[in-house]
Amino acid sequence: MTLRLLFRYGIVGLLGTALHFAALFVLVEAAKLHPVPASALGFVLVLLVSYALNRRWTFQASASGWKPLAKYTVVSVTGLLLNTGLMYLAVDRLHWHYAVGQCLVVVAVPLSNFLFNYYWTFREKKSGE
């Protein structure tokens, strides 16, 4: 694992976070959706954008086809469940403002997603494995 890899993952993560917050704000304030499903929809949008950027730019993975996308989706769905659960806890149980709940999500989900993507999704097999 290199600093360059972590830096690139962080840049994609920051872009994804900004996109997630923008989608959340628009869906809650303009479309009048409840914050929990609005956050989930934003997460799905970010999944598609971040897969493309992480595959080509961050991890520079050569594998193509459905397998890496399927793995990335599994990791992201796990993150989505964590995202939705944390938003539910923050908004509906703790009665925090949805932006505070989203900040909690921003801390927990990226770390777990990076580790799974690094060690599983985009891991290039070495000869003999």
pLDDT, tens digit (0-9, with 9 covering 90-100), for 30-50: 999 999 999 989 988 988 899
Triad 87, 90, 92: Cα angle to 5°? 90
Is the Cβ–Cβ distance between 16 and 39 less than 8 Å?
A: no
CA dihedral for 54, 58, 59, 64, sign (positive or negative): positive
Domain ranges of the chain: 3-123
Q: In the structure encoding, which two tokens stand for residue 91, read together? A: 């908004």
**pLDDT tens track for 80-116:** 899 899 999 999 999 999 999 999 998 888 888 888 9
Question: Model's pTM, two decimal places?
Answer: 0.70
